[in-house]
């Protein structure tokens, strides 16, 4: 059985690398074979799946979807543009902005959130968006490991190592990975200053994007605070982080429903869930 399990596991990863488009199907198919062959007892199926990770990712995705739709990131980008002296600093600040967001929001969601803003700024300044978009993407990828909720990998590894939110800041009497990641982020500033040293055209902006809904911002901040508080409470349930994220996601949906008197937005948020990632993780667990 062990040999069969290893062979199936290796085959799954080979297929994932060779044809990544169907990764969730490979993982779920191999998981099904594990169950049918008896490698994994059917009775232990529910306990094997890491529900805490799945709930954290699902809840965070829903809140982030509302956050993007509220146009709050656009307002923050407008503020950064107004604070910049020239094009070079626009690129640097937008990259750092993407990195800060990525520390609390999934990398892909961060790029989807910030890249359109960067494109709009480049169009407004009549400049090529390539440099700014690449900087945003790299910065987003770099800082995803800064906190427990910054990336799917952080959530999975943190859960496996029994790490709570604060362990990313301080662990075993020493500074955590957060400070190493942020130090790396700061070191990108002189690199970007050199790469974009010729972009010295002055910029100015007084525009402010109107925010349509402040609830997602409040819920996102509440989620971070709640995860911090939960990390100090002893003997919490294993799924406490997932419960926090999902409860706040449901609260966001309910408040929006009563504000708009329509269910369209809630349906859209659920449809925008990354079911491929959730399916992939379910199969891997």
- Separation between Cα atoms, residue 182 and residue 38, nearest integer Å: 46
CA atoms within 13 A on the CB side of 119: 7
Which residues on neighbouring strands pair with residue 175, listed in sequence order?
170
pLDDT digits (tens, 9 = 90+) for 208-263: 778 888 888 898 888 878 877 877 777 777 788 788 889 999 999 988 888 877 77
Residue 29, pLDDT score: 83
State whether residue 226 is helix, strand or coil: helix
Q: Which residue has the higher pLDDT, 169 or 279?
A: 169
Supply the DSSP symbol for 174.
E
The answer to whether residues 88 and 199 touch, using CB atoms and an 8 Å cutoff, is yes
**Average of per-residue pLDDT values in the chain:** 81
pLDDT at 203 over 80: no
Residue 190, pLDDT score: 92
Backbone angles phi, psi at 129, to 5 degrees: -85, -5
The answer to whether residues 55 and 245 touch, using CB atoms and an 8 Å cutoff, is yes
Q: How confident is the model at residue 103 (pLDDT cuts 50, 70, 90)?
A: confident
| Range with the largest mean pLDDT of 110-114, 133-137, 169-173, 230-234 | 133-137
Residue 251, pLDDT score: 92
Residue carrying structure tokens 């891997």? 284
- Separation between Cα atoms, residue 30 and residue 37, nearest integer Å: 10
- Separation between Cα atoms, residue 109 and residue 75, nearest integer Å: 17
Q: Which residue has the higher pLDDT, 52 or 255?
A: 255
- Separation between Cα atoms, residue 133 and residue 24, nearest integer Å: 28
Q: How confident is the model at residue 75 (pLDDT cuts 50, 70, 90)?
A: confident
pLDDT digits (tens, 9 = 90+) for 158-181: 777 777 778 888 888 888 888 888
pLDDT at 192 over 80: yes
Q: Which residue has the higher pLDDT, 178 or 154?
A: 178
pLDDT digits (tens, 9 = 90+) for 17-35: 887 788 888 788 888 888 7
Q: How far is the CA of 208 from the CAs of 69, 93, 189, 203, 285, in angstroms?
A: 16, 17, 26, 15, 45
Residue carrying structure tokens 């990544």? 20
pLDDT at 94 over 80: yes
Q: How far is the CA of 175 from the CAs of 66, 90, 131, 163, 253, in angstroms?
A: 33, 31, 33, 14, 37
- Separation between Cα atoms, residue 114 and residue 54, nearest integer Å: 25
Residue 15, pLDDT score: 81
pLDDT at 129 over 80: yes
Residues 6+ apart with CB under 8 A from 53: 152, 155, 156, 159, 242, 281, 285
Q: Where are the domains of the chain?
A: 2-48, 50-70+212-285, 71-210
Residue 28, pLDDT score: 83
């Amino acid at each position: 059985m062990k040999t069969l399990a290893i062979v199936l596991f290796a085959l799954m990863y080979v297929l994932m690398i060779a044809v990544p488009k169907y990764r969730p199907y490979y993982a779920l198919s191999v998981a099904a074979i594990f169950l049918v062959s008896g490698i994994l007892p059917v009775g232990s199926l529910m306990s094997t799946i890491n529900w805490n990770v799945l709930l954290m990712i699902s809840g965070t995705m829903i809140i982030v979807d509302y956050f993007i739709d509220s146009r709050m990131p656009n307002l923050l980008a407008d503020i950064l543009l107004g604070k910049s002296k020239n094009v070079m600093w626009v690129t640097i600040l937008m990259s750092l902005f993407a990195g800060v967001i990525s520390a609390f929001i999934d990398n892909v969601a961060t790029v989807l959130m910030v890249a359109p803003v960067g494109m709009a700024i480049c169009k407004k300044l009549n400049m090529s968006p390539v440099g700014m978009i690449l900087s945003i993407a790299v910065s987003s990828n770099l800082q995803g490991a800064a906190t427990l909720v910054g990336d799917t990998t952080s959530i999975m590894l943190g859960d496996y190592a029994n790490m709570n939110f604060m362990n990313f800041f301080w662990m075993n009497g020493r500074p955590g990975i957060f400070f190493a990641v942020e130090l790396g982020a700061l070191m990108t500033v002189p690199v970007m200053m050199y790469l974009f040293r010729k972009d010295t055209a002055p910029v100015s902006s007084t525009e402010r994007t109107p925010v349509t809904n402040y609830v997602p911002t409040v819920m996102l901040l509440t989620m971070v605070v709640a995860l911090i508080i939960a990390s100090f409470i002893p003997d919490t349930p294993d799924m406490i982080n997932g419960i926090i994220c999902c409860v706040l996601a449901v609260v966001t949906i309910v408040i929006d429903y009563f504000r708009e008197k329509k269910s369209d937005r809630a349906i859209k948020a659920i449809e925008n869930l990354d079911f491929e990632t959730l399916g992939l993780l379910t199969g891997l667990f």
